[in-house]
């Protein structure tokens, strides 16, 4: 009987902890996707181990939690390339050289996004709670540390992701990515800023720990809630550069 | 005669026409005038552009410089291709209501191939150059009513889901000039209406005029040339090919097509229909006459463009994590095609195409492995120019590449095709093409590629006729 009570208590405790982790992650997602829509200019700086730097520029539109259009504007070789992320894991790419859109199959999603250290999967506009099962593994004075296990491990390159979330703002400060062998392969450092009522990642620096390559993404000229039309997030608009 | 010319030159020299100092002076003055003229025109253009395009969306000018050089590996290792191209694009958006786009190629293609001294005066022969308007159109959004788009002008349609091989893409004429760049189409002067209804898309295209395909140049010209079979003891003295273009009447020159597409589950599906001219000519008749003796003949071959209906479908999606795509295309002739051969008083008919549809199809898959390497495999039944069920060959293509150094270096060790002309006689009717390539991007806008093409085959199929013409190529491109 005592054993049964102990088991029930453990189950309740686990449930409470899981619930808390879910609440934290949901709160984090709500903060990240607080605006109804947003538009920003991205500057993506790639730095290799030797310190060689190359730059890409893009415009990003986002609506709700799962619609995002990213279009490259620089360098000229990549200008016009567009990515459209839609609900239900649907992603399209448009390559001006081919003149037609193509749906991105899941095998591509773990590949690097336009030579950066971000993968297509990292760039997808999907709330973390939809992609991961979170578990609170540590609470410090300033941060919650969640371990997130992919809900679809077969389509993810990661075995787990550890995210550090600020206890006051619920913005993430750091994210660590582990491969299937449990080795940390990438690290993302976020710097959130507040504009009006909204927090946004003013900069995000991803380091690939395997080769020391870094990608820094900075957002400028960001606007929130400008009532972006749904027409922006269509294949029709993706190909209309 | 020689003296007269010299005397004339003398007179011109005295008059100053050929005096180097005076020429220099005159040239300087001309140069100044020309320079002033150019500066004036440039200022005028800049001012006009500023006035016309001083809006939020300025005229965007982008382009690519590329050079492509190839030489044969077999002795005497001669150059087989020389192309330097500036691919210039201009686009201008009028808010989100309309867009203008144009793409023009400025090219120096081929080699100086002179046979007479007077050709040296012709720059077109010393340095073969051409300008090609690939596309120039306006695209009007929400034309008449919402979600209806009108695109008018020279344009490419890009139907189909296959990689470079698209049996359903029948409206644009093929550009087979460079056979290794297969899948290249020429723009068509056309009007296209597109209507979007949620995830459905409907397209209607009208081409008022017919534009034929260009055929390959260089050695590949032989591969596409139809040379009549001659009886033993008779040799060909001359062969003149004539071509009959469709007339320009509204009824006879028009082509049109419809496409509807939708997304169902994880698949994009499309249905296609076109009524068009086959852009590669078919034999119509041969007129044979003796050339001086009974063993030599002259042939006047007449070619025509035939009308076809085409109905097809295409799909792309994902299956077990693999990207998959396919196309099916039925070509339906309007009537049986016979070739008439007139030899003296005798007239003979031979069947070229039965009045039966022929079917081309393609299926492809791709996959990206965990190490980042990419594999693409396609199977095609019936190449662009093949007609009639009995003449369709099977093509298997494969490409496997891996990128290194943050996508700067791309190595394609496995790339090529295996072509079967007759499965029952596989040992004698096949072609094998292997073309590995390595490309490097020293910076984001520059790409240098180096590769080889090894062709081996047997039989009389198109690709077998250029067997053993292996080549090495180098390509350099810069985007601006």
- HEC profile of B197-238: ECCEEEEEEEECCCCCCECCCCCHHHHHCCCCCCCCCCEEEE
pLDDT for position A2: 58
Return the SS3 of B114. Answer: coil
pLDDT for position A129: 92
Contact B158 A98 (CB under 8 A): yes
Contact B321 A155 (CB under 8 A): yes
Question: What sign for the dihedral angle of Cα B452, B410, B268, B369?
Answer: positive
pLDDT for position A209: 94
Beta bridge partners of A77: none
How far is it, in rounded angstroms, from Cα B203 to Cα B205?
7
Note the pLDDT tens digit of each residue in A35-45.
Answer: 999 999 999 99
How far is it, in rounded angstroms, from Cα B159 to Cα A165?
47
Beta bridge partners of B401: B374
Q: Does A73 touch chain B (CB under 8 A)?
A: no
Contact B67, B87 (CB under 8 A): no
| φ, ψ at B379 (rounded to 5°) | -125, 130
Enumerate the residues of chain B whose CB falls inside 8 A of the CB of residue A241: 91
| φ, ψ at B127 (rounded to 5°) | -145, 85
Longest dimension (CA), chain A: 72
Q: Does A75 touch chain B (CB under 8 A)?
A: yes
Q: How many helices (H) and strands (E) does chain A have?
A: 4, 13
pLDDT for position B179: 85
- pTM for the full model? 0.81
pLDDT for position A112: 83
Two tokens at B74? 């077999």
Beta bridge partners of B476: B67, B448
Contact A107 B443 (CB under 8 A): no
How far is it, in rounded angstroms, from Cα B329 to Cα B310?
7
How far is it, in rounded angstroms, from Cα A225 to Cα A195?
12
Q: Does A157 touch chain B (CB under 8 A)?
A: yes
Enumerate the residues of chain B whose CB falls inside 8 A of the CB of residue A155: 321
For chain B, the residues whose C-beta falls within 8 A of a C-beta of chain A are: 62, 91, 99, 139, 141, 149, 156, 158, 194, 196, 201, 266, 268, 316-318, 321-323, 366-368, 370, 372, 405-408, 443-445, 447, 479-480
Rounded to two decimals, the ipTM of the complex is 0.76
Distances (CA, A) of B163 to A113, B158, B166, B384, B470: 21, 11, 7, 13, 24
pLDDT for position A8: 52
Any residues with CB less than 8 A from the CB of A138 and at least 6 apart, and which?
A: A144, A145
Residue found by looking up tokens 């749904």 in the block: A230
Give per-residue burial for A37-68: e unless 16+ CB within 10 Å, then b.
bbbbebebbbbbeeeeebebbbebbbbbbbbb
Contact A137, A148 (CB under 8 A): no
Distances (CA, A) of A101 to A81, A83, A91, B156, B166: 10, 9, 10, 14, 15
How far is it, in rounded angstroms, from Cα A214 to Cα B211?
51
Contact A13, A136 (CB under 8 A): no
Note the pLDDT tens digit of each residue in B131-181.
Answer: 999 999 999 999 999 899 999 999 999 999 999 999 999 999 999 999 888
Any residues with CB less than 8 A from the CB of B232 and at least 6 apart, and which?
A: none
pLDDT for position B24: 42
Does A10 have pLDDT greater than 90?
Answer: no
Chain A: residue nearest B324 by CA? A105
Note the pLDDT tens digit of each residue in A146-196.
Answer: 999 999 888 888 999 999 999 999 999 999 999 999 999 999 999 999 999
Mean pLDDT of chain A: 88
Chain A: residue nearest B149 by CA? A236
Which of A92, A103, A113, A185 is the best substitution to test chain B (most B C-beta atoms within 10 A)? A103
- Which element (helix H / strand E) includes B258? strand B255-264
| Domains of chain A, each with CATH number or no CATH | 21-239 (2.50.20.10)
- Which element (helix H / strand E) includes B62? strand B60-72
How far is it, in rounded angstroms, from Cα B138 to Cα B134?
14
Two tokens at A8? 């029930």
Among B317, B368, B407, whose Cβ lies nearest the Cβ of A103? B317
Does A144 have pLDDT greater than 90?
Answer: yes
What does A199-221 look like in DSSP terms, one character per residue? EEEEEEEEEETTTTEEEEEEEEE
Chain B: residue nearest A55 by CA? B444
Q: Which residues of chain B are under the pLDDT cut of 70? A: 1-56, 222-223, 225-229
How far is it, in rounded angstroms, from Cα B264 to Cα B200?
10
pLDDT for position A12: 46
Under DSSP, the state recorded for A43 is E
pLDDT for position B233: 81
Q: How many CB atoms lie within 10 A of CB B393?
A: 21
pLDDT for position B59: 92
Give per-residue burial for B351-385: e unless 16+ CB within 10 Å, then b.
ebbeeebbebbbbbbbbbeeeeebbbbbbbbbbbb
How far is it, in rounded angstroms, from Cα A174 to Cα A162?
8
pLDDT for position A105: 83
């Amino acid at each position: 009987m005592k054993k049964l009570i102990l088991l029930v208590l453990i189950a309740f405790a686990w449930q409470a902890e899981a619930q808390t982790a879910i609440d934290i992650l949901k709160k984090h997602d709500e903060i990240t996707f607080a605006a109804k829509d947003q538009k920003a200019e991205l500057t993506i700086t790639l730095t290799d181990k030797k310190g060689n730097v190359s730059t890409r520029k893009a415009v990003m539109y986002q609506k709700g939690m799962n619609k995002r259009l990213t279009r490259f504007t620089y360098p000229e070789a990549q200008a016009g390339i567009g990515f459209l992320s839609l609900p239900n894991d649907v992603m399209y790419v448009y390559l001006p050289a081919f003149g037609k859109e193509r749906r991105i199959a899941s095998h591509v999603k773990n590949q690097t996004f336009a030579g950066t250290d971000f993968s297509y999967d990292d760039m997808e506009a999907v709330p973390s709670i939809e992609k991961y099962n979170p578990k609170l593994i540590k609470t410090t004075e300033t941060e919650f540390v969640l371990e997130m296990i992919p809900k679809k491990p077969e389509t993810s390159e990661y075995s787990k992701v550890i995210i550090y979330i600020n206890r006051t703002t619920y913005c993430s400060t750091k994210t660590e990515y582990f491969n299937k062998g449990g080795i940390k392969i990438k690290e993302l450092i976020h710097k959130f800023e507040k504009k009006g009522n909204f927090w946004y990642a003013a900069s995000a620096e991803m380091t690939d720990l395997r080769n020391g390559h870094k990608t820094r993404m900075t957002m400028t000229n960001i606007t929130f809630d400008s009532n972006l039309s749904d027409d922006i997030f269509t294949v029709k608009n993706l190909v209309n550069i | 005669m020689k003296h007269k010319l010299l005397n004339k030159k003398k007179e011109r020299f005295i008059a100053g026409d050929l005096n180097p100092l005076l020429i220099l002076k005159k040239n300087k003055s001309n140069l100044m005038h020309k320079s002033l003229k150019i500066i004036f025109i440039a200022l005028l253009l800049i001012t006009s552009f500023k006035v016309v395009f001083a809006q939020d969306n300025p005229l965007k000018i982008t382009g690519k410089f590329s050079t492509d050089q190839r030489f044969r590996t077999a002795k005497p290792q001669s150059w087989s291709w020389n192309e330097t191209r500036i691919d210039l694009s201009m686009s201008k958006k009028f808010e989100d209501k309309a867009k203008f786009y144009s793409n023009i190629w400025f090219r120096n293609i081929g080699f100086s191939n002179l046979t007479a001294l007077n050709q040296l005066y012709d720059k077109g022969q010393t340095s073969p150059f051409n300008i090609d308007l690939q596309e120039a159109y306006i695209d009007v959004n929400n034309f008449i009513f919402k979600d209806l788009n009108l695109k008018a002008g020279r344009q490419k349609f890009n139907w189909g889901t296959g990689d470079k091989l698209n049996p359903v893409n029948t409206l644009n004429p093929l550009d087979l000039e460079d056979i290794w760049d297969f899948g290249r189409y020429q723009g068509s002067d056309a009007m296209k209406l597109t209507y979007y209804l949620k995830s459905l898309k409907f397209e209607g295209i009208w081409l008022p005029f017919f534009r034929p395909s260009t055929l390959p140049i260089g050695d590949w010209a032989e591969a596409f040339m139809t040379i009549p079979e001659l009886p033993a003891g008779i040799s060909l003295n001359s062969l003149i090919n004539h071509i009959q273009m469709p007339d320009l009447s509204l009824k006879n020159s028009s082509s049109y097509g419809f496409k509807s597409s939708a997304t169902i589950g994880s698949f994009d599906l499309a249905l296609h229909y076109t009524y068009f001219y086959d852009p590669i000519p078919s034999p119509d008749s041969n007129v044979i006459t003796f050339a001086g003796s009974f063993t030599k003949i002259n042939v006047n071959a007449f070619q025509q463009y035939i009308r076809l209906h085409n109905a097809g479908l295409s799909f792309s999606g994902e299956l077990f994590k693999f990207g998959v795509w396919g196309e099916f295309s039925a070509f339906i002739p309007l009537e049986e095609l016979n070739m008439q051969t007139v030899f003296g008083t005798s007239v003979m008919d031979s069947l070229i195409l039965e009045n039966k549809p022929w079917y081309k199809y393609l299926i492809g898959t791709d996959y990206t492995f965990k190490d980042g390497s990419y594999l693409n495999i396609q199977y095609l039944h019936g190449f662009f120019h093949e007609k009639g069920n009995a003449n369709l060959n099977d093509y298997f293509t494969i490409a496997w590449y891996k990128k290194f150094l943050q996508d700067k270096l791309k190595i394609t060790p496995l790339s090529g095709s295996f072509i079967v002309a007759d499965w029952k006689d596989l040992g004698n009717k096949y072609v094998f093409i292997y073309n590995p390539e390595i490309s490097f991007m020293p910076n984001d806008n520059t790409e240098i590629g180096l590769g080889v093409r090894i062709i081996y085959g047997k039989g009389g199929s198109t690709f077998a006729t250029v067997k053993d013409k292996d080549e090495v190529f180098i390509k350099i491109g810069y985007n601006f």
